[in-house]
Amino acid sequence: MVVLAMVLKTVQSHSPGHEPANEGGEKEQTSGSPLPQASSATPQKPRAKKTSYSLDAEVEKALVEWIKENDILWNSKLIRYKRIDLKEALWNEKAKELEKTATYLKGWWRSIKDIFTRLHKRKSGDGPKDLTEREEWIFATCTFLGPLVRHVSQPMRSVSMEGPCVFVS
């Protein structure tokens, strides 16, 4: 009996001309379709909030120089690169000096590396691209990362052999 009532209520709420009311009795806006929108099979994870990593230009310049000197933070070819405890100690020390958190500084560095990698990935056939002043600064300042940048190639899509095949000579 309860199931029948739930089905009847669902059918009535989706019938044309019927606008469902929310708990307060107010009518809700519908998308114009009498049926609910289909959702994807897997629920989407909510995106994390984006953090704006902003530092003064002089602080950024000094920080990049500091990172360049402490190659354990960026040179993955070093054996010590895997020593997370050493890297954490360096980040914590610098964070205390700059009155920031280590997480904030690491996020700033991740952002700089990501931008450099994207700029480094450009192919010669892409033609000249107008870079912002910041992108020019990052590309010029972080050249020491160049030999370590690894680009992940995207898989090629195969051509479907369905349908007629026509050869032009």
Q: Domain for residue 18, yes or no? A: no
Q: Can you give the pTM of this predicted structure? A: 0.58
Residue 93 maps to a domain:
yes
Long-range CB pairs of 66-75, under 8 A, 24+ apart, other chains included: 66/94, 67/109, 68/144, 73/109, 74/113, 74/144, 74/145, 74/148, 75/148
Q: What pLDDT band is residue 34 in, cutting at 50, 70 and 90?
A: low
In the chain, the number of structural domains is 1
Residue 75 lies inside a defined structural domain of this protein = yes
What is residue 164's predicted lDDT score, i.e. its pLDDT? 59
Establish if 21 belongs to a structural domain: no
pLDDT at 153 over 90: no
pLDDT at 109: 93
In a domain, 45, yes or no: no
Does the residue 40 lie in any domain? no
Q: pLDDT for 96-139, tens place per residue?
A: 999 999 999 999 999 999 888 888 887 666 666 788 899 999 98
Residues found in the chain:
169
124 belongs to a structural domain? yes
Q: For residue 20, tell me if it sits in a domain.
A: no
Range of the domain at 136: 57-146
CA distance 86 to 80: 8
- In angstroms, the CA 122 to CA 14 distance is 51
Q: What is the mean pLDDT of residues 48-71?
A: 85
